[in-house]
Amino acid sequence: MSREDILVLLRKEEGFLSGQELSRRLGLSRAAVWKTVDALRREGYEIEARTGLGYRLAAAPDAMTVPEIRSFLGETAVVGRELRCFAELDSTNNYAKTLAQTGAPDGTAVIADSQTAGRGRMERSFQSPKGQGIYLSVLLRPALPPDRLPPVTALAGVAVCGAVEQVCGLRPGLKWPNDPVLEGKKLCGILTEVSLEAETGRLQSMVLGIGINVLQKPEDFPPEVREVAISLLQVLGRPVSRPRLTAALLEELDRAYAALLAGDLSVYQAAYRRDCVNLGKRVQLLPFGGGARETAEAVGVDEAFNLIVRGEDGALRTVRSGEVSVRGLWGYTE
């Protein structure tokens, strides 16, 4: 733990912290402090050393590691209390589902710097290049009946918007049912997978996967998604710390999970309705499995986060995310 402890102390100090003071606070020898500092430097941390003054953390790498994420992460009740970080996985959702079978605790978060087989809804591929995005899955074990689970993905969308606002100072919109968007393009993908006991229908586990485009430039997106995808770097014109944004996301997810367990989603329903970019606009309804497209006006979101639309005949109806996909008339959201 001395490595993480030294990082915490150096982050808290505005100036230099002497090797003697580090030794005293951590109960380590001066030689052990020097070795740990040297190891941190090899990992990409810029640690300045001055005779008579000590050490100062000048810069940290944008590393998706437990120490970096923990350095920004506040206290959480469930989500993120256990972190598993990897340089590469085929899919964080796949790994989290494996952890579920081995008894990993509620709220365990799996994070990868890259994915070789990232997935979105409808088995679509989710591009997950190294060093450019946040690829995160959370294992959840809510003691709830299945009919209380459908809002989870919408809650995650609101959590993403809150984390981006906290770290970047701008709030994404939400394209129904669960896509955070900026400038009319997709910023994030969310995929929820549920495991139920066959005999009873009781929930065994739930895996919530989230992928956020953070540092991609336009040319980093494949041609087939370039027109509908966007990153925070493109919008802000400056890089964003992925560990800091990951920590903010875990905190937001922890609050959303607490609301789900408590059965009070009113705050999230209000936030979703405020952020939904489809409301008041004409949209296309694209039935899954084929069928004719319909044009309707999106007029509301009900308490279960289903979309209320007014059809061409003026009648209101409710559509669910498992039934249709929604697009704007002229593009991804518009």
Binned at pLDDT 50, 70 and 90, residue 5 comes out as confident
Q: What's the mean pLDDT in 320-324?
A: 84
Q: Is 327 helix (H, G, I), strand (E, B) or coil?
A: strand
Amino acid 173: pLDDT: 97
Distance CA 92, CA 94 (A): 5
* pLDDT tens digit sequence for 296-309: 999 999 999 999 99
Q: In what side-by-side order are the strands of the sheet with 282-287?
A: 316-319, 307-310, 294-301, 282-287, 324-328
The correct answer on CATH 3.40.50.300 for the domain covering 2-59 is: no
The correct answer on CATH 1.10.1740.10 for the domain covering 282-328 is: no
Q: In what side-by-side order are the strands of the sheet with 179-182?
A: 173-175, 179-182, 185-186
Q: What's the mean pLDDT in 16-39?
A: 92
Amino acid 33: pLDDT: 92
* Domain parsing of the chain, residue ranges: 2-59, 66-275, 282-328
Distance CA 147, CA 161 (A): 25
Amino acid 120: pLDDT: 59
Q: Is 203 helix (H, G, I), strand (E, B) or coil?
A: strand
Distance CA 245, CA 79 (A): 15
* pLDDT tens digit sequence for 205-263: 999 999 999 999 999 998 888 899 999 999 999 999 999 999 999 999 999 999 999 99
CATH topology of domain 66-275: BirA Bifunctional Protein; domain 2 (3.30.930)
| Whole-number average pLDDT of the chain | 92
In a 10 Å sphere around its CB, with 0-12 CB exposed, 13-18 middle and 19+ buried, how is residue 328 labelled?
A: middle
Binned at pLDDT 50, 70 and 90, residue 41 comes out as very high
pLDDT of 161 higher than 80: yes
pLDDT of 157 higher than 80: yes
Give the predicted TM-score (pTM) of the model. 0.89
DSSP, residue by residue, 305-318: SPEEEE-TTS-EEE
Question: In this predicted model, which residue has the larger pLDDT, 108 or 289?
Answer: 108
DSSP state of 104: P
Amino acid 1: pLDDT: 54
Report the range of poorest mean pLDDT among 141-150, 190-199, 249-258: 190-199
DSSP state of 89: B
* pLDDT tens digit sequence for 85-131: 999 999 999 999 999 999 999 999 999 999 997 765 545 656 688 89
Amino acid 254: pLDDT: 98
Amino acid 230: pLDDT: 96
In a 10 Å sphere around its CB, with 0-12 CB exposed, 13-18 middle and 19+ buried, how is residue 8 labelled?
A: middle
Distance CA 184, CA 91 (A): 27
Binned at pLDDT 50, 70 and 90, residue 291 comes out as confident
Distance CA 334, CA 223 (A): 20
Under a CB-based contact definition with an 8 Å cutoff, are residues 178 and 128 in contact?
A: no
Q: Work out the percent of the chain whose per-residue pLDDT is above 90.
A: 75
